[in-house]
A and B are shown apart, each in its own frame.
Chain A
Amino acid sequence: MEFVLILAILVAVAFFVTVPLRRPARRGETELDAQLAELEARKEAKYREIRDTEIDRATGKLSQDEWRRQNDELRREAIAILKRLDELQSGG
């Protein structure tokens, strides 16, 4: 009985694990998904940096000039990410 159970588990695991291998390959779409996900993560990280810099200014760690320099640079970087996101989402 135990042997049958073990065999059943083995078959079930093998079936579960090989499901993707029995599907047709979906190349283009998933690669695009991965690139979009990565750019989204970079965008969120850049937004966090911009917010952190704003907090540093508000709490007196950065002067107005220091903040403006850093903020401008970060926003340029964020815009570049957003442009790339738009390109990918529009299929470019």
Chain B
Amino acid sequence: MGAACLVLALLAALYAAGAAIAGARGDRRWVDSSRRATYALAALLTTAVVILEAAFLRSDFSFRLVAEHSSTTTPTGYKLTALWSSQGGSLLLWAWVLSIASSAVLFATRNRLREIVPWAAAVLMGFAAFFCALMLLSGPDANPFSRLDPAPVEGAGLTPLLRHPAMAIHPPMLYSGYVFFTVPFAFAIGALIARKVDASWIRSTRRFALIAWTFLTIGVALGARWSYSELGWGGYWAWDPVENASLMPWLIGTAFLHSMMVQERRGMLKVWNVSLIVATAALALLGTFLVRSGVLDSIHAFGASTIGPPLLVLIAVVVLGSAALIVSRLDDLRSEKRIDSLFSREAIFLVNNLLLVGLCAVIFWGTFFPLISEAITGTRSSVGPPFFNRLATPIAILLVLFTGIGPLVAWRRMSRETAKRVFRWPSVAALVVAAILFAFTDARGEPLALALFAFAAFALAALGQEFARGIAARRVLSGGSVPSALVAIVTRNRRRYGGYIVHAGIAVLLIGVAASSSFQTSRDVFLSPGESERVGDFDVTYVRPTQSVDREENRLTLGAVLDVTRDGEPFATLRPSRNYYSGRGVDPAAPVRGFFEGEATSEVGRRQSLGGDVWTAAQPDLTRLDPLIDRADERLAEITEGTPPDAPQVQSQIAALQGAAIAEIASRYVDDPPPTNFRVNVNPLVTWIWIGWLIALSGALIALWPSAEARRRRVADVYAARLARDLSRA
């Protein structure tokens, strides 16, 4: 049934694309039919998703996807989110979200942009058809409905690294971001084909671009949070290829959100805008390609697959086809106006755009350097975090500065006297902060961090000044208290003030990044119970080991209790641990050894505060337990010698014996604890990364929220449309 839904979905997408093109050339009824086919596509893919999720919930292991990514003991929440931990499931997610986004935008524009919409619909449905065909024609790995016969009795369970709330929703957030950026891309292509390249396509798709940006922001931040909480290395950003693949469309998408305002208001940057949205869409597809093709080594990649080449072909078609279209429409894309002054918001946005594109270019080069070097020299070389940090940091510092400059500058031009007035207090704030930090903190030894803090102070003071002046102006007009005036200016100008809040969030986030990376103290200490070590201003004492066995999750947890003091006073008690899992990839000839050498995750011990985190991860040294582990495997081998390994009774016997061996090992770990390696990090102000992210997110949601006038207008429109339909039937 699910596979049939996929086939019908492919047919619906192909029909929708064809009908849209037919409608673009003549009869509008084909466009309406195409839109209905898009709605049908969304319904069919929703049905497919529901069928799969039901299979996960009832642990139907005849579905290969369920057998490979779930088990009877997987918690219900993770069963539902396991859908997108696989190749086929994530392709289905892509297509499903695309069908919903397409339905939404085609519904919203059903009475508008008559020349553009058919071509945009054709592009969107072309993407949908591609992903449906990919699932159906690229082999069992890519098909979410491929079956196993006979069905196994038990599934392999979810990869332990993915058993984390952040990872559960990280993929749909990222994919939603990628997908929603295809909407403005499709409308840009439609506008180019129809030669309607004024701001109308931007106005219609601005909200979708902002939705995409919001989803990407959530997805990128969740990935960073997961890395910090789960991976045990103590950082939140490793410049991993798949991390970079999500950041690049975010950067270009951010540039697009700014420069589209310039085209809306001033009719400028048309070539730049279409180029940006093409780049954003291409990078979104590239992100999918990097995760699913396994072409670059990454902790995220799930190995080479058959879908890499088709995705690469799609990216090439998008880039080359769009470039050819842009070149053919250069005459239509001439700017209506020119930049009046270098000291104008248009000019500032352009500089901001160049910085964002420059940062993306640096990341792109570093990410794909292994492939480039292999193609040219035959040897695969790579660049690591030092490359990215060296080049990205100065650009990021300038970007922080411009998050403050942009809001201060007016459109078209600003006089020198006005500029002096609006820049005065933010500049003073920057100088004061720089002076204080230089005089009284370690920041004097980190000039780049000091520059970022000063520019962030400038940006936050500038934004605060904007709010203060807006409140004052409102109160002059209508009276009222400061809080009511604040609510009024934000609700009546959501785009402006929502944007300001996003800028503030980014400034705060980068303060957290600068502080936690420039002033981090990190040490690996090797402790036995009772021993202590000094890390920065803290004394860390290993108090005692801990152990627990979770039979449902087939998980052994070995951990520790650490006491942390500062200046002799108790500061925190941390409980880091290491989880070892059975089930996935365990060598049947050495099941107990395989338990410890298979997949493992870290649970970090962390004491969070606004001033920063004390963070620790544990890596127990298990060599002392080796003789016990080897003896357990030898005993198991003796007992099961000569018996068929697949027989259910043998399987359950092995499991019971393994469980007993693991319990004995866990008990020995506590009674005679081996030394443990602890990574202890002191991360100043790292909490402000997450706070800044939440501030930015709230600003985006404010900017997205429709105004009361818009809501009233939509209600009136519904009645007007209904009246028109009724009259036309009479």
Q: Which residues of A contact B (CB under 8 A)?
A: 2, 5-6, 9-10, 13, 16-21, 23, 25-27, 29-31, 33-34, 37-38, 41-42, 45, 48-49, 51-53, 55-56, 58-63, 66, 70
- Contacting residue for B413 out of A5, A10, A59, A66, CB 8 A: A66
Q: Are A34 and B728 also in contact (CB < 8 A) when A16-B40, A60-B422, A63-B415 are?
A: no
CB distance from B201 to the nearest CB of A (A): 11
Q: How near does chain B come to A21, taking the closest CB pair, in angstroms?
A: 5
Residues of B contacting A60 with CB < 8 Å?
Answer: 418, 421-422, 469
- B138 in contact (CB, < 8 A): no
29 example contacts (A-B, Cβ-Cβ < 8 A) are as follows A2-B4, A9-B4, A9-B5, A13-B12, A13-B44, A17-B36, A20-B36, A25-B27, A26-B728, A30-B111, A31-B114, A34-B112, A37-B112, A38-B113, A38-B200, A41-B203, A51-B492, A53-B411, A55-B496, A56-B410, A58-B477, A59-B466, A60-B418, A60-B469, A61-B414, A63-B418, A66-B413, A66-B414, A66-B415
A66–B419 Cα distance when bound, in Å, is 13
A residues within 8 A CB of B8? 6, 9-10, 13
User: How extensive is the interface on chain B, given as a class?
Assistant: 35 or more
Contacts A58-B469, A59-B466 hold; do A45 and B493 have CB atoms under 8 A apart? Answer: no
In the complex, what distance in Å separates the CA atom of A26 from the CA atom of B724? 12
When A and B form their complex, which 6 residue pairs have the shortest distance between CB atoms, in order from nearest? A58-B473, A20-B32, A59-B469, A61-B410, A20-B29, A37-B112
- What is the minimal beta-carbon distance from A80 to any residue of chain B, in angstroms? 14
Question: Does A61 contact B473, Cβ atoms closer than 8 Å?
Answer: no
Q: Whose C-beta in chain A lies nearest to the C-beta of B407? A: A61
Q: Min CB distance, A67 to chain B, in Å?
A: 9
Q: Which of A16, A30, A52, A66 contacts B496 (CB 8 A)?
A: A52
Closest Cβ of chain A: how far from B501's Cβ, in Å?
16
User: Given A34, A45, A55, A61, which contacts B111 in the complex, CB threshold below 8 Å?
Assistant: A34
Residues in B neighbouring A56, C-beta threshold 8 A:
410-411
Chain B residues in 8 Å Cβ range of A5: 1
Interface residues as binary, B197-232 with A (CB distance below 8 Å gives 1, 0 otherwise): 001100110000000000000000000000000000
Q: Given A49-B265, A60-B418, A60-B422 in contact, is the A25-B44 Cβ separation under 8 Å?
A: no
CA distance A11 to B114 in the complex (A): 29
B111 touches A37 (CB 8 A): yes
Within the complex, which residue of A26, A37, A45 is in contact with B264, where a contact is CB–CB below 8 Å?
A45
Q: Mask for B374-414, Cβ within 8 A of A = 1, else 0?
A: 00000000000000000000000000000000001111111
Enumerate B443-478 residues with CB–CB distance to A below 8 Å: 466, 469-470, 473, 476-477
Is B163's beta carbon under 8 Å from chain A? no
Q: Which residues of A contact B411 (CB under 8 A)?
A: 52-53, 56, 70
How many CB-defined contacts (below 8 Å) exist between A and B?
114
Q: Chain A: which residue is nearest B31 at the CB level?
A: A20
Q: B66 → chain A, closest Cβ, in Å?
A: 19
**Cβ-defined contact, B469 with A2, below 8 A:** no
When distances are taken between beta carbons in the complex, the residues of chain B under 8 Å from A23 are 29
Taking A29-B728, A37-B111, A41-B112 as contacts, is the C-beta distance between A17 and B15 under 8 angstroms?
yes
Asked if B415 contacts A59 (CB within 8 A), the reply is no
A2 nearest in chain B by CB position: B1
Contact with A along B1-39 (1 / 0, CB 8 A): 100110010001001000000000001111011001101
**Most central of B12, B36, B466, B495 by chain A CB within 10 Å:** B36
Could you tell me if B30 and A21 are in contact, using CB atoms closer than 8 angstroms?
Answer: yes
Instruction: With both chains docked as a complex, state the minimum distance between the C-beta of B404 and any C-beta of chain A, in angstroms.
Output: 14
**Bound Cα distance from A61 to B476, whole angstroms:** 17
Within the complex, the shortest CB–CB distance from B424 to chain A, in Å, comes to 11
Contact yes or no, B422 A61, CB < 8 A: yes
> Which residues of chain A are near B27, meaning CB under 8 Å?
25
Given contacts A21-B30, A59-B470, contact A45 B112 (CB under 8 A): no
Q: In the complex, which residues 222-269 of chain B have their Cβ closer than 8 Å to any Cβ of chain A?
A: 264-265
Q: Which of B40, B200, B473 contacts A41 (CB 8 A)?
A: B200
- Cβ distance B12 to chain A, nearest Cβ, rounded Å: 6
How many angstroms from the CA of A60 to the CA of B415 in the assembled complex? 11
- Whole-angstrom distance between the Cβ of B107 and the nearest chain A Cβ: 13
Residue of B nearest to A65 (CB): B415
Bound-state Cα–Cα, A27 to B496, Å: 39
CA distance A29 to B728 in the complex (A): 9
A90–B659 Cα distance when bound, in Å, is 83
Chain A residues with CB under 8 Å of B111's CB are 30, 33-34, 37
CA distance A60 to B264 in the complex (A): 23
Residues of B near A42 (CB, < 8 A) are 200, 203
Instruction: Collect the chain B residues with CB atoms within 8 Å of residue A70's CB.
Output: 411-412
- Other 8 A-B pairs with CB < 8 A, given A52-B496, A66-B418: A13-B37, A16-B36, A20-B33, A30-B114, A34-B111, A34-B113, A55-B496, A61-B409
Distance between Cα atoms of A9 and B36 in the complex (Å): 15
Task: Assess the B12–A38 pair: CB atoms within 8 A.
Answer: no
Write the chain B residue with the least CB distance to A3.
B4
Asked if residues A55 and B30 are in contact (CB atoms below 8 Å), the reply is no
Q: Which residues on A sit within 8 Å (CB–CB) of B264? A: 45
- Which residue of chain A has its CB nearest to the CB of B264? A45
Residues facing A in B351-376 (CB within 8 A) are none
Q: With A45-B264, A51-B493 given, is the CB distance from A59 to B473 under 8 Å?
A: yes
Nearest CB on B from A46, distance (A): 10
Residue of B nearest to A40 (CB): B713
A55/B493 contact (C-beta < 8 A), A17-B40, A29-B728, A66-B418 known: yes
Query: Quick one: given A23-B29, A55-B470, A58-B473, are A66 and B40 in contact (CB under 8 Å)?
Result: no
**Interchain CB contact (< 8 A) of B29 among A10, A25, A33:** A25
Which residues on the A side are within 8 Å of B15 (C-beta)? 17
Bound together, the chains give a CA A5 to CA B204 distance in angstroms of: 38
Cβ–Cβ contact B114 & A34, under 8 A: yes
Contacts of B114 in A (CB 8 A): 30-31, 34
Measured between beta carbons, the chain B residues less than 8 angstroms from A16 are 36, 39-40
A33 to chain B, nearest CB (A): 5
Give A63 to B416 CA distance when docked, in angstroms.
11
How far, in whole Å, are A17 and B15 apart by their CA atoms in the complex?
9
Chain A: minimal CB distance from B132 (Å) = 14
A58 & B728 in contact (Cβ 8 Å cutoff): no
Residues of A with C-beta under 8 A to B32: 20
Report the bound CA distance from A51 to B495 in whole Å: 12
Min CB distance A12 to B, Å, is 9
Determine whether the beta carbon of A6 is less than 8 Å from that of B4.
yes
Bound together, the chains give a CA A13 to CA B34 distance in angstroms of: 12
Assembly CA distance A72 to B284 (angstroms): 42
Q: Given the complex, which residues of A lie within 8 Å of B29, measured CB to CB?
A: 20-21, 23, 25
Are B724 and A29 in contact (CB-based, < 8 A)?
yes
Closest Cβ–Cβ distance, residue A51 to chain B (whole Å): 7
Q: Among the interface residues B12, B39, B411, which one has the most CB atoms of the partner chain A within 10 A?
A: B411
Residue in chain B with minimal CB distance to A29: B728
Alpha-carbon separation in the docked complex, A30 to B724 (Å): 10
Would you list which residues of chain B between 127 and 159 have a CB under 8 Å from chain A? none
Say how far B190's CB is from chain A's closest CB, in angstroms: 14
Within 8 A of A (CB), among B416-435: 417-418, 421-422
Closest to B34 in A: A17
A52 to B489, CA, bound (A): 11
